């Protein structure tokens, strides 16, 4: 029997909700420690920056995916949705020559609209989320290719666009910490999403949808509307990811995107969010994204072949979910 | 009791001694003793959260006790898992029904022990259904074994749980509030089964909040309070008042309502010619401000269905609904809530609670918008304060408002749902079995609250399968049978009169008198 805490509710809450984050966090620390011992190149500032930079796009997508997954749904369209948003930004900035803020707004709007659409399919037409977003995934991929004429759109005419992700405002203020903007954006998006989930009515309903949608409906809540709102919010975050990837590559690459959704879902799962819905945290997801980036980077530094990196990542996902299962069982046994 | 009997019963089937169990923040069992003998019905009584279900979960291998011993036939045993309990012949019918909704009745009963065919490769569906049908026969349940559980009322699900427990041929059978969802006929049926099992030497542990059942079925009664063992008394020669005071530690007075004069009161809700399939046929009635209208009838009479169509949970085929004299269209629950109608469902697990969320969130679930400031930001301290107020007011037993709802005892979960609708502050409140699984003390508290809500000017509809509850609460009684309203009676009408209307079948329908409720369920399925 594990120790029984005599503390009432709140302590208990921290214990159960904090545990997975702790678990994932401990995993992250262990990975970092392991790689630093294995290679002196790992803990170098440029490498750390590279890791964070690499985590930023997947991290932002994973935040979007977390919102949907908490409602008991899934979003397979985040990857190609991201590309679609980048292409829209490319069209607005490069083809139409509009100023940068307009391009950014257009990308986020495009993401929001695609989220609205997925949400409507799911909530109103009752298409299962897996199918609805699978369809959206293909639709958005196709549209990206059609709109761009299958050619990359470069942002050369928009000075400063690459700085959105790769510049460093923090570095300008504190030269010792050249933290790329992309990472700052990830933390900002994560912070906002976390606040929305934890503190607002939308967030509360997201959890309620995943926990017992019918009970929410019978409480007189317009469950469909809130569900659509969550998908739209997720879509707008995908728009942010679109800007980030466009900025990093200085181009919208219409063929890119497929496969990103699986990385995002992997980060969510490693971060302890249940695919059954009703529970999950953004912090866990961010840690999950970091774990994946550290893993990829560390294995590369150790010259592990790309093929094997994929095998390791897959194993880590299973391990993470297994560890989570164990924790839950122990929690259940302890009451 | 003769000396011979004493020796026969010397070694109880099961004897639990000094059982202790804590959950985080809750000391649920404090050195509890309990035993059950072969061939006896031993009732376990206590208020919501007293620890009855927890004690039974320890006995059935779901929880491990922190301390204490369990003896089986006089030998100390460890019961480490539900499987082990099953092997020892300990069966349990849980308070929270645990059937798989997407499987059918027969599949549920034989889950994990399906008869096989083709050398063990395939499930022998024919045999499966035949065996299930035989079990149903035993308990006089007329139901097609292939009916999916999701299509069954709670009462039918309960009967299936009973069939499942019987199929295990247990020597000790635990029934945790088996009658909470059953009507009188079904309860009689259950009691008949219990007596039969008793005669076969099965020891039965019986948990219920219905005091009248004690005298009818129990041999001995053990009372628990706040996780402690209070005492064991013979059921036959202990007055009910004594048992109640053992349970709650005080006396409870319950007087029927003074029926207010509502001649000039405004009509708040009026429905005309509601129709939906067989369950709701031409139902018209109205409720006035300050009135409590009780809906009596047998299980399956269509009362819940009437409530659900008014609330927009199920679509209406035809009919009109007026609130404050204005005709309104209700397509979904949110339309009803906007019009000021609240509905407390009879099935709290599926329709009432988000069990994975905390008590506070569940309490504010129907009124969350009220607690959102600019940008939808929730005022968490206010939410928690209001939740604490209801926790106090309804004496909800929970370590804090942050506790997950699923960790509360059954009766306390029910109180959380009641709190949700009290907070929403509707003009019309429909309570479908509001005191299901609620203990005597809390029951009278909820009755008091309902009367108070009515006195404050709300129109209240109470659907209940317990006649005493209908009589205790209602200013006026509507009786339904087979989807039709068969009549209205003044509050305090004699029970026989209500029963007569509740069984008044439609003459036009051919041999309706022969068709039992169950048969119709099966037909529909
Ligand atoms: N898994 C759990 N974790 C935390 N607390 C629990 C858990 N299970 C039960 N409790 C608490 O233990 C106490 C006893 O609960 P139990 O379910 O045994 O009550 P009960 O006597 O069956 O009540 P009811 O009549 O309402 O069903 C309650 O305060 C309940 O909240
Ligand atoms: Mg119980």
Cα–Cα distance for residue pair B235/B229, rounded to 1 Å:
17
User: Across all residues in chain B, what is the average pLDDT?
Assistant: 86
Query: What stretch of H or E contains B288?
Result: strand B280-288
Query: Is-same-fold flag (B2-89+170-248; B267-350+426-502)?
Result: yes
- In angstroms, the Cα distances linking B206 to B11, B43, B92, B177, B214 are 20, 4, 10, 7, 9
Most ligand 1 atoms within 8 A of CB, residue of B16, B20, B21, B23 to mutate: B23
Question: Given this structure, which CATH class describes domain A41-325?
Answer: mainly alpha
Cα–Cα distance for residue pair A324/A271, rounded to 1 Å:
9
User: B203 in the Ramachandran plot: left (φ > 0), alpha (ψ -120 to 50) or beta?
Assistant: beta
Contact A61, A241 (CB under 8 A): yes
Per-residue pLDDT at B513 exceeds 60: no
Contact A245, A57 (CB under 8 A): yes
Structure tokens of B336?
A: 């009803």
Cα–Cα distance for residue pair A231/A76, rounded to 1 Å:
12
Sheet with B484-490: list strands edge to edge.
B341-344, B428-432, B459-463, B292-297, B476-481, B484-490
B403 CB within 6 A, ligand 1: no
The superfamily in CATH containing domain B2-89+170-248 is P-loop containing nucleotide triphosphate hydrolases (3.40.50.300)
Q: Select the residue of A4, A7, A200 nearest B378 (Cβ to Cβ).
A: A200
What is the distance between the terminal CA atoms of chain B, rounded to a whole angstrom?
50
DSSP string of B29-95, one letter each residue: EEEEEEEE-TT-EEEEE-STTSSHHHHHHHHTTSS--SEEEEEETTEEE---SHHHHHHTTEEEE-S
Ligand nearest, relative to CA of residue B57: 1
Q: Tell me, what's the pLDDT at B265?
A: 84
For residues A309 and B101, the model is more confident at A309
State which residue of chain B sits closest to A217, comparing Cα positions: B333
Contacts of B20 in chain A (CB under 8 A): none
Cα–Cα distance for residue pair A240/A103, rounded to 1 Å:
11
CB contact under 8 A, B400 and A222: no
- Summarize pLDDT for A252-301 with one digit per residue, the tens: 999 999 999 999 999 999 998 888 888 899 999 999 999 999 999 999 99
Angle at which helices A78-90 and A100-123 cross, to 10°: 150
Q: Tell me, what's the pLDDT at A306?
A: 85
Q: Tell me, what's the pLDDT at A233?
A: 98
Ligand nearest, relative to CA of residue B439: 1
- Summarize pLDDT for B265-315 with one digit per residue, the tens: 889 999 999 999 888 999 999 999 999 999 998 777 889 999 999 999 999
The phi, psi pair for B367, rounded to 5°, reads -130, 20
CB contact under 8 A, A201 and B376: yes
Cα–Cα distance for residue pair B354/A207, rounded to 1 Å:
9
Ligand nearest, relative to CA of residue B442: 1
| Cross-strand pairs, B17 | B69
Residue keyed to tokens 């029926």: B259
Most ligand 1 atoms within 8 A of CB, residue of A1, A328, A335 to mutate: A335
Beta strands B476-481 and B484-490 are antiparallel
Q: Tell me, what's the pLDDT at B385?
A: 96
Q: Tell me, what's the pLDDT at B256?
A: 66
- Around Cβ A322, how many Cβ atoms within 10 Å? 10
State which residue of chain A sits closest to B384, comparing Cα positions: A10
Structure tokens of B475?
A: 């200013």
Residue keyed to tokens 């939410």: B383
Sheet with B280-288: list strands edge to edge.
B280-288, B267-276, B318-323, B326-328
* pTM recorded for the entire structure: 0.77
- B252, with CB counted inside 10 A (0-12, 13-18, 19+), is middle
Residue keyed to tokens 């008014």: B310
Beta strands B292-297 and B26-36 are unpaired
Binned at pLDDT 50, 70 and 90, residue B504 comes out as confident
Q: Tell me, what's the pLDDT at B247?
A: 85
Angle at which helices A181-199 and A223-249 cross, to 10°: 170
Per-residue pLDDT at B29 exceeds 60: yes
Structure tokens of B314?
A: 């199920």
DSSP string of B241-269, one letter each residue: HHHHHHHHSS----PPPPPP--TTPPEEE
DSSP-assigned letter for residue B425: T
Structure tokens of A50?
A: 């590279």
Q: Please state which of the four CATH numbers 3.30.1330.60, 3.40.50.150, 3.30.365.10, 3.40.50.300 is assigned to the domain occupying B267-350+426-502.
A: 3.40.50.300
Query: How is chain A split into domains, by residue range?
Result: 41-325
Per-residue pLDDT at B489 exceeds 90: yes
Chain A interface, best mutation among B20, B365, B369, by max A CB count within 10 A = B365
Chain B interface, best mutation among A14, A218, A222, A335, by max B CB count within 10 A = A218
Mean pLDDT for each consecutive 10-residue tract of chain A (335 residues)? 34 45 83 92 90 94 97 96 97 94 97 97 96 97 96 93 91 87 96 93 92 87 94 98 96 93 93 87 94 92 88 87 74 53
Q: Select the residue of A7, A202, A221 nearest B334 (Cβ to Cβ).
A: A221
Query: How is chain B split into domains, by residue range?
Result: 2-89+170-248, 98-169, 267-350+426-502
263-292 of A, contacting B, C-beta below 8 A: 278-279
Cα–Cα distance for residue pair B440/A133, rounded to 1 Å:
51
Residue keyed to tokens 């659509």: A228
Binned at pLDDT 50, 70 and 90, residue B514 comes out as very low
Nearest CA to ligand 1 atom 27: B410
Closest CA to B208 of B227, B190, B195: B190
- A67, with CB counted inside 10 A (0-12, 13-18, 19+), is buried
Residue keyed to tokens 């993470």: A320
ipTM for the predicted complex comes to: 0.75
Beta strands B220-225 and B228-234 are antiparallel
CB contact under 8 A, B420 and A222: no
DSSP-assigned letter for residue B358: B
**How remote is the C-alpha of B374 from its chain's centroid?**
40
Cα–Cα distance for residue pair A34/B495, rounded to 1 Å:
77
Structure tokens of B96?
A: 């929270």
Beta strands per DSSP E along B364-455: 428-432
Contact A285, A66 (CB under 8 A): yes
Chain A interface, best mutation among B23, B374, B376, by max A CB count within 10 A = B376
């Amino acid at each position: 029997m594990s120790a029984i805490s005599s503390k009432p509710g709140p302590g208990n809450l921290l214990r159960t909700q904090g545990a997975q984050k702790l678990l994932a966090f401990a995993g992250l620390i262990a990975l970092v420690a392991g790689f630093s011992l294995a290679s002196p190149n790992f803990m170098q500032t440029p490498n750390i920056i590279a890791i964070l930079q690499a985590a930023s796009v997947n991290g932002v997508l994973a935040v979007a995916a977390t919102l949907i997954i908490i409602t008991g749904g899934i979003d397979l369209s985040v990857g190609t949705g991201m590309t679609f948003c980048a292409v829209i930004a490319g069209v607005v900035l490069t083809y139409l020559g509009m100023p940068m803020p307009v391009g950014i707004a257009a990308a986020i709007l495009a993401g929001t609209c695609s989220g609205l659409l997925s949400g409507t399919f799911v909530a109103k037409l009752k298409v299962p989320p897996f199918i609805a977003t699978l369809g959206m995934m293909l639709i958005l991929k196709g549209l990206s290719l059609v709109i761009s004429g299958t050619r990359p759109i470069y942002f050369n005419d928009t000075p400063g666009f690459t700085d959105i992700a790769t510049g460093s405002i923090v570095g300008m203020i504190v030269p010792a910490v050249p933290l790329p903007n992309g990472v700052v954006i990830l933390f900002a998006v994560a912070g906002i999403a976390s606040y929305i989930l934890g503190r607002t009515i939308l967030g509360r309903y997201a959890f309620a949808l995943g926990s017992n949608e019918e009970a929410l409906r019978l409480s007189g809540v317009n469950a469909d509307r809130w569900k659509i709102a969550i998908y739209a919010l997720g879509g707008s975050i995908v728009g942010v990811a679109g800007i980030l990837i466009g900025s990093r590559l200085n181009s919208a690459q219409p063929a890119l995107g497929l496969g990103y959704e699986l990385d995002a879902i992997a980060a969510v799962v490693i971060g302890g969010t249940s695919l059954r819905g009703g529970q999950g945290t953004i912090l866990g997801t961010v840690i999950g994204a970091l774990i994946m980036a550290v893993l990829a980077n560390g294995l590369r530094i150790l010259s592990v072949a790309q093929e094997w990196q994929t095998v390791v990542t897959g194993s880590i996902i299973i391990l993470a979910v297994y560890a989570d299962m164990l924790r839950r069982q122990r929690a259940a046994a302890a009451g | 009791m003769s000396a011979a009997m004493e020796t026969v019963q010397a070694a109880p089937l099961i004897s639990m001694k000094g059982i202790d169990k804590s959950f985080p923040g809750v000391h649920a069992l404090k050195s509890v003793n309990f035993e059950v003998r072969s061939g006896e019905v031993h009732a376990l009584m206590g208020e919501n959260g007293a620890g009855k279900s927890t004690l039974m979960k320890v006995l059935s291998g779901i929880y491990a006790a922190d301390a204490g011993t369990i003896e089986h036939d006089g030998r100390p045993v460890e019961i480490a898992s539900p499987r082990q309990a099953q092997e020892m012949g300990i069966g349990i019918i849980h308070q929270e029904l645990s059937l798989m909704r997407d499987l059918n009745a027969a599949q549920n009963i034989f889950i994990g022990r399906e008869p096989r065919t083709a050398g063990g490769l395939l499930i022998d569906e024919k045999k499966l259904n035949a065996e299930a049908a035989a079990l149903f026969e035993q308990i006089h349940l007329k139901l097609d074994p292939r009916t999916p559980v999701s299509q069954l009322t709670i009462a039918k699900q309960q009967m299936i749980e009973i069939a499942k427990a019987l199929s295990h041929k247990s020597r000790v059978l635990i029934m945790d509030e088996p009658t909470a969802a059953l009507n009188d006929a079904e309860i009689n049926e259950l009691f008949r089964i219990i007596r039969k099992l008793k005669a076969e030497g099965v020891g039965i542990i019986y948990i219920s909040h219905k005091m009248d059942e004690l005298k009818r079925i129990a041999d001995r009664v053990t009372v628990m309070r706040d996780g402690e063992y209070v005492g064991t008394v013979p059921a036959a020669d202990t007055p009910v008042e004594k048992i109640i005071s053992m349970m709650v530690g005080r006396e409870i007075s319950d007087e029927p309502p003074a029926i207010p004069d509502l001649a000039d009161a405004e009509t708040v809700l009026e429905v005309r010619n509601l129709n939906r399939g067989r369950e709701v046929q031409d139902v018209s009635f109205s409720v006035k401000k300050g009135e409590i209208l009780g809906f009596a009838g047998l299980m399956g009479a269509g009362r819940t269905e009437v409530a659900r169509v008014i609330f927009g949970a199920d679509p209406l085929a035809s009919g009109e609904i007026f609130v404050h004299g204005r005709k309104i269209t209700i397509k979904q629950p949110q339309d009803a809530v906007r019009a000021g109608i609240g509905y407390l469902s009879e099935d709290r697990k599926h329709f009432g609670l988000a069990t994975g969320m905390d008590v506070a969130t569940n309490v504010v679930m129907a009124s969350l918008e009220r607690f959102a400031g600019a940008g939808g930001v929730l005022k968490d301290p206010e939410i928690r304060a209001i939740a604490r107020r209801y926790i106090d007011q309804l004496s909800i037993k929970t370590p804090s408002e942050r506790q997950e709802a699923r960790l509360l005892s059954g009766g306390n979960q029910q109180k959380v749902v009641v709190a949700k609708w009290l907070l929403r502050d509707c003009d019309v409140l429909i309570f479908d079995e509001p005191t299901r699984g609620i203990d005597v003390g809390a029951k009278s508290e909820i009755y008091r609250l309902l009367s108070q809500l009515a006195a404050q000017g709300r129109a209240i509809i109470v659907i209940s399968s317990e006649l005493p509850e209908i009589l205790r609460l209602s200013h006026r009684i509507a009786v339904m049978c087979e989807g039709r309203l068969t009549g209205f009676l003044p509050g305090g009408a004699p029970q026989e009169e209500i029963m007569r209307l509740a069984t008044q079948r439609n003459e036009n329908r051919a041999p309706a008198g022969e068709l039992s409720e169950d048969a119709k369920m099966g037909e529909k399925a």
